[in-house]
Amino acid sequence: MGENTNNLQELEKWINLANMAANEGDLKKARQYLLNVVEVDPECVQAWDYLSYFAESRDEEISALEKVLELQPENHSAAERLINVRKDTI
């Protein structure tokens, strides 16, 4: 249990650092922190959702939103954003 708690704390730290970096305008750094999170916990919906905002391409944004919906099918916000992103690519 201690290891899981440490992992969770580390992931929360990276998400907080990503938020701070984004607020400072450093989207590359924010993205890297979030990539660290999903590498350790590929089922972290929050990190995938944030990654969709910091994606470097439309395909990456679509992939992140699809992952959010895979993990959380009832996420209406992500579903709506995915529809809009796909519309923009046609």
**pLDDT per residue over 48-68, tens digit each?**
999 999 999 999 999 999 999
pLDDT in tens, 25-34: 999 999 999 9
Tokens of 22: 């984004």
pTM of the model: 0.87
Task: Report CA 48 to chain centroid distance, whole Å.
Answer: 2
* Separation CA 75–CA 25 (nearest Å): 27
Domains of the chain by start residue, with CATH:
2-89 (1.25.40.10)
